[in-house]
Amino acid sequence: MTLRRSDFIRTVILGNGGSGKSWLSERLAGIAGAEATDMDLIHWVPGGYNVRRDPAIAIAMVRDCAAGERWIIEGVYGWLAQEVLPRATALILLDIPDDECVANVKARGLRRGGDETAQADLVQWVSEYRIRRNANSFAAHEQAFQRFAGAKFRLKSRGEMASLLDAAKDE
């Protein structure tokens, strides 16, 4: 794989909860000299996962993140990703098996003020990634991937993520 750091200066990473989006974005941001943004922090009002931000405000926030020259934006929110994909130089789709994503969510435990009920709801939601039919589904992510005209990468394992990072380092 012949890649350059510059291939990733404006990257969107899509995938299921627990697929490794945050892990990959933090490492790729370090390589590309970019800022990493988790769309959870845009989609949800601070304090947990129980109050969605007004969509117009969320759109303005994600567009603001993508206004810079270097950024990595990751998340499951396809409707927000659509706002920034026209400026992206790369799109990464994490196509990790759902059972692995569920195990990862369970292993990381409660996050960002969530409680046991929120955790159980998240596990259920992650397990339904391939059967959901909305902007946060595998089908929507696949459609965005197919339509994207820039550099795009479908990664199916942590090993493939590590290989992509190694290739991007070797400029």
Can you list the domains of the chain with their CATH numbers?
5-164 (3.40.50.300)
More confident call, 96 vs 167: 96
pLDDT in tens, 102-148: 999 899 866 666 678 878 888 999 999 999 999 999 999 999 999 99
Q: Give pLDDT, residue 112.
A: 61
> With a threshold of 0.85, does the pTM exceed it?
yes
**Tokens 């990464």 identify what position?**
92
List, in sequence order, the alpha helices (H) in 33-66: 40-43, 55-65
Question: Two tokens at 73?
Answer: 């934006």
* Furthest CA-CA distance within the chain: 46
Please, which pLDDT band fits residue 17 given cuts at 50, 70 and 90?
very high
Residue 118: the pLDDT is 78
Question: What's the CA gap between 110 and 131, in Å, rounded?
Answer: 24
Q: CA quadruple 69, 75, 76, 80: dihedral positive or negative? A: negative
Determine which helix (DSSP H) or strand (DSSP E) holds 38, and give its type and residue range: strand 35-38
Three-class DSSP category at 87 = helix
CA distance 11 to 15: 13
Q: What is the mean pLDDT of residues 49-77?
A: 93
Please report how many Cα atoms fall inside a 13 Å half-sphere around the Cα of residue 146, on the Cβ side. Answer: 6
Work out the number of other CB atoms within 10 angstroms of the CB of residue 83.
19
